[in-house]
Structure 1
Amino acid sequence: MPLPYDMPDAPEVLDRREGPYGEVVLRRHGKLLQIIANGCFLMDTSDGRSERLLVEAARAALDGRAAPRLLIGGLGVGFSLSHAAADPRWGGITVVERERAVIDWHLDGPLAAFSGPALADPRSTIVAADLLDYVHETRDTFDAVCLDIDNGPDWTVTEGNGSLYSPAGLAGCARVLRPGGVLAVWSARPSPEFEGTLRNAGFQQVRTEEIPVARGVPDVVHLAVRPG
C-alpha cells in the first residue's frame, strides 16, 4: 500500500524555511498554493473573497476621498495587494510583511503568478518588517489600514501576533491613520470583545461585516474610523 506522501493528492512542499517567528512552508495541493505557519494552515489561493472584501470595505468607508493611501498588514498569497492595485482610485499601496520567505515567494517564486502585475505597479511598495514595529516607527501616514494578520484577534497562530490587536497595537494603527481614516481587520470569526477594544482605543463607527463561507462560522471584517 502506498504511503500517504506517495498519494497523487498529497500536498507537495515547495519551500520550507525557519524564520524569526518559526517555520513557514509553501506547498502545492492540486491547483492550490498554501501557506503553513508552524504547522497551522494560514491561507491558500482558492478564493480571495475575504481579502477583496477587506480592501473594498476600507475603500467604501472613505467616502470618496481622492487618491487615498493604503497600508496592508500581511502579504499572504497576494489577494489584498492585487485587488487594491486593480483599483486606480488608490493613490499608494504599502504592504508590510515580516516573513522574508513570503516576500521571496512573490518576487521570484510560485506566488508571483498571483501578484506580479500588482508588484510592478508603481504605486506598490513592499516593506520587510514587523507591522507592530512599523506602525510605531514610520513617518508615513495612510487613509486606510487593512490588517490580514494570522487568523484574527481571537485566534493567533504565531506568537506575538496577539499584541497587534491589543490597545498598544491599535494605538500604533491609529498613529499612522490620517484623521477620518479607516481601520479594517480581517478575522476568521466574529469578536465582540475586539469591537470593545476598538472603541476603548478611541475608534468610532465600529462595526462588523460578515463574509459568508461554505460551512461554519462566517469570516468577518471589523471596521473602525479614527476620529477627525
Structure 2
Amino acid sequence: MLPWITLDTAKIPDAGVAGGEGELRLKQRGQEFSIMLGTNELMNSRLSGSEEALANLGCVRIAGRARPDVLIGGLGMGFTLRAALAALGADARVTVAELVPAVVAWARGPMAGLFAGSLEDPRVTIREADVGRVMGERAASFDAILLDVDNGPEGLTAEANDSLYSTAGLGMARAALRPGGVFAVWSAAPDAAFAKRLKGVGFSVEEVRVRANRGRSGTRHVIWLAVKGGGGDAPLPRSR
C-alpha cells in the first residue's frame, strides 16, 4: 500500500482547539487526499456523499427561484460546491466563505483535479473570510446557506466556529435569508440541543441522515434543513 505523504500544513486563524494543535495537514496517498487536524480526519476525497447531499437537499428547496443567491460556509474539498453548481441554473450566484486561506490554495494547487474547474465557474465568488462575517454583511439576501464548517455543532477546530451554532449565530443565519430560504447544516453526528436551538430562533426543521460514501452502508452523517417562514413554505423533502 502506498504511504501517506504530507503535502502542506496550515495554521487555523484564531484557533482555540480541543484535542488538536490548531494546524491542518494536507496529505496524499496516490489519488486520495485527506485533511487532518491532529489525529482527526476532517475530510477525505473518497467520502463525498454527505457533502453532496448537503447541496442537493438545500438546493431542491429553492428550485424555481429566479437568480438564486447561495452562500456556502466552508470550501473543504469542493464536493458541496460542485454539487450546488450542478443543481443550480446559469443565473445563480454562489459565494463560498473559507476561513483558512491555505485551503483555497490547496484547491487551486494539489487538489485542483477534485475541483474540476468549479472555482473558475463565473457563478462562483470565493471569500477568504469567516462565514459568520459574510452572513452579517447581508441581511435578507440569501436563498440558501449551506454550512459545512468544522465537524458540525460539536467542533474540533477554531473555537470561533462555536458561535455559528449558538442561538445568536443561528439568529444571524436566519436574518441573512430571504423569506422561505433554507439553512442547511452538515454534522458528523446528531445533536438534539442544536435542533432545539434551530427551532428556538424560528426555523421549521427536519433532520436527515445521509451516508458518507453514497452507498447503502457505512457511516451516516446528519443534515439539518431549517426553513425561514414567510415564503409559503412547502413541506420539506423526506429522507429515504
The aligned residue for residue 209 of structure 2 is: 210
Contact residue 38 and residue 158 of structure 1 kept, 8 A: no
Counterpart Cα distance in 2 of 1:188 and 1:158: 16
Contact residue 15 and residue 26 of structure 1 kept, 8 A: yes
Counterpart Cα distance in 2 of 1:140 and 1:29: 43
Residue correspondence of structure 1 range 1-228 to structure 2 within 5 A: 9-20=2-13, 21=15, 22-62=22-62, 64-89=64-89, 91-107=92-108, 109-138=109-138, 141-204=141-204, 206-213=205-212, 214-216=217-219, 218-228=220-230
Counterpart Cα distance in 2 of 1:31 and 1:199: 42
Q: CA RMSD in A?
A: 1.9
Structure 2: where are the runs of 5+ without partners?
16-21, 231-240
Query: C-alpha displacement at 1:155, in angstroms?
Result: 4.2
Letter in 1 for 2:9: R
Contact residue 24 and residue 101 of structure 1 kept, 8 A: no
Counterpart Cα distance in 2 of 1:156 and 1:194: 16
Counterpart Cα distance in 2 of 1:158 and 1:11: 25
Query: C-alpha displacement at 1:140, in angstroms?
Result: 7.7
Letter in 1 for 2:226: A
Structure 1 length-normalised TM: 0.88
Query: C-alpha displacement at 1:159, in angstroms?
Result: 2.2
Counterpart Cα distance in 1 of 2:3 and 2:206: 40
Query: C-alpha displacement at 1:151, in angstroms?
Result: 1.1
Query: C-alpha displacement at 1:190, in angstroms?
Result: 1.6
Counterpart Cα distance in 2 of 1:19 and 1:158: 7
The higher-RCO structure (CA 8 Å, 6+ apart) is: 2
Counterpart Cα distance in 2 of 1:163 and 1:105: 26
Contact residue 71 and residue 145 of structure 2 kept, 8 A: yes
Contact residue 86 and residue 118 of structure 1 kept, 8 A: no
Counterpart Cα distance in 2 of 1:140 and 1:26: 36
Structure 1: where are the runs of 5+ without partners?
1-7
Deviations 1:201-227 (A, max 9, x none): 1112x01111135445x2111011112
Query: C-alpha displacement at 1:158, in angstroms?
Result: 3.1
Number of aligned positions between the proteins: 218
Query: C-alpha displacement at 1:125, in angstroms?
Result: 0.5
Cα separation, partners in 2 of 1:171 and 1:209, compared to 1, 3 Å: same
Counterpart Cα distance in 2 of 1:134 and 1:80: 18
Contact residue 49 and residue 211 of structure 2 kept, 8 A: no
Letter in 2 for 1:16: T
Letter in 1 for 2:157: V
Aligned partner of residue 183 in structure 1, secondary structure: strand
Aligned partner of residue 71 in structure 1, secondary structure: strand
Counterpart Cα distance in 2 of 1:69 and 1:177: 10
Query: C-alpha displacement at 1:138, in angstroms?
Result: 3.9
Cα separation, partners in 2 of 1:15 and 1:140, compared to 1, 3 Å: farther
Counterpart Cα distance in 2 of 1:119 and 1:194: 32
Contact residue 13 and residue 28 of structure 1 kept, 8 A: yes
Letter in 2 for 1:125: T
